[in-house]
Structure 1
Amino acid sequence: MSENDSAFDFDDAYGKLQRGADTKIVAARRFAHRKAQKELAKDTDKIVDLAFLAFDIPVTGDRAMTWLEAIVNEKDPRFSLDRDRNEARIIATILLAERIQNGYQATPALVMTASLGGRRQTPDQEAIVMAARSLLARLGRHRGLRFDARLARPAWRDVGKALAAAKAGDPTSMNAAIDAIANEAKDAEKRLVETFNNALRELTEENCRLAEEVDLLWWRMSRWSYLLDRPLSEIDERALPFVAGTDVATLITVLPGPHGALGVIRNILGATADEPQTLKSTFETITASDRASLLKDVKPDVQPIASLNAGLRLYDDDSIAASLPAVFAKRTGVSIDTELTRFQIAVQAFYERMLIKSGWI
């Protein structure tokens, strides 16, 4: 969770995006918001659904968001995802905004990915993108500084009543007291083991983080692509952003990854990091053999929120070569001629691959 202890103010967030809304509608949306947040805690696919909706990314028929519509319909039966599209996008945006305020670490990476370097907009004019970027930076600064895996002695539950009853000396009371003490001992042991396992997990994650940061430094020094098995200097400059971002993501196991990874990527790109290039030129300079290596662990039907990986995957299908730009635009909602800086492309590739590896998209 976040260090921000202030409670999320739904009414304020909704009021900024729907000024003058009727109080009954505000109450209905507040109810839906709270119920939807509970659903998000159970299913990451639904969080991804919200990103599709908030950023207006095209959705295929097998990704119908009926769950959200059903929740809103409980207090507003006339609401429709199709008919009330802008309202639906506002609902999704506010749900994501609260998750970011509450410090859920994967959500900002998802938001950054959906944004595609600012080429996709949300109803709040990128407020959640700025919040996501701020949280990622804060996580990077604080990671490791407050690590504490000390074990606390588990508190025993009160068995005083059972012990007091046992003083009567009758067998039933004495047996009940013995059972109460034995059961509590077992429960205390269980709580202690759980506490120990949690501490061990945190320690393991911390060790992995440190090892990954060392790996990043060696990667920067060696300038060698693990995925393509050759020096980065031999990779076409226009393909380098995608390769660098994806290569770095392969070294990291936990979302959202160390914030310093972006600095390492920028260093690799050098003086040309802020120069623009189109998505099309990025895709077309990656050879078929390199494409196979880069997409080895990416599903053929990778979701369009991962626009770079989805776009590159389209080049595997010779049957759509003539219409590929149109297919890309239809699936992702952006033009293949969209320009991003080389650094933006690398960051996009990094977060896309992190989310793919983690099973989010």
Structure 2
Amino acid sequence: MDRPRVMAVFFVGLLVLIGLLVWCHPFFGFFAWSGYLFTVPALRGRWRLAGAAGVAGCTAVSQIGGFGILAMAGAWIPFLIILAFNIGIAVAMTFLSMVNSDHAARRAELLRQLTEANDKLASALTENAGLHAQLLVQAREAGVLDERQRMAGEIHDVLAQGLTGIVTQLEAADQAAGREHDRRRHLDTAKRLARDSLTEARRSVQALRPQPLAGAALPDALAEVVDGWSARNGVSAELITTGTAQPLLPEIEATLLRTAQEALANVARHARAGRVALTLSYMEDLVTLDVRDDGAGFDPARRRTEQYEGGYGLTAMRDRVQRVAGTLEVESEPGAGTAISACVPALHVASAA
């Protein structure tokens, strides 16, 4: 079946044999029907129809009584009628057989392709199961790492800032040993900072919102932080809010508040500034927080570890802002102050619901 030329020669030989048998005796026409059995398997394309017509011609000759009848007068008209009838039926049946054969071949090819696709799908599912398990492990590890970073930021924002303020107040109390009123004021401030830091540490462990944001809007919470910082450090500080303030997702508001706290802590530790200005700007798709001071400034190109203890301040702010798909820009130069700008998406509580 896979050698078309050999099969074509075989069919031609079979057709010649049928013709010779009919030539010998018309009774051998009963053998002619066997030619139809090999028409579709042995031939290709339209040659099948020609083969069927040849078999039909031999059958028609046997039906009229053999080749000798054709020599008689008036025998051609009935022969042509019988020939046309046989060819019509043979060609029609062969054509239907060809259509069915083609459909069967296409179905077999589709089944083969489907089987191959199913095998590939099964292999892909097995591979995906392994990848899924690997992704779960990686996601778990990423979640652990992200939680560690969050806790590191919380510890730095809460404990480090609080302890720095407490140490500053205690040192000021030691320097005011001869002034009881000032000494008592510094000690009271240190106690208040210790209590606030303890409360914030507990809230951070429980992954709750920062204390100033509990029951307060972000501008009000920032104003409270700015006023408290200004009173403790004796530096003039103001908050300006532009745009229409709207409730944001807790993660967004907490990020902006922590950024402001860290920026103010850096000003208190390093800037020696006389004035600080914070601008909270609400825009359509973004919310920005700018913190500017007129302090000593620094060279942003230098490593943070060369300028700040531990070098964690700006790194913590940048990591925190990036976790909410925001950006942090720092502009500064020695003797010209520092400007920090945090830009975060304005994800409102209502739109996220």
Higher helix share: 2
Q: Which has the higher contact order (CA 8 A, sep 6+)?
A: 1
Which range, TM-score by smaller chain? under 0.3
Larger Rg: 2
Higher strand share: 2
Length-normalised TM-score, structure 2 = 0.23
Length-normalised TM-score, structure 1 = 0.22
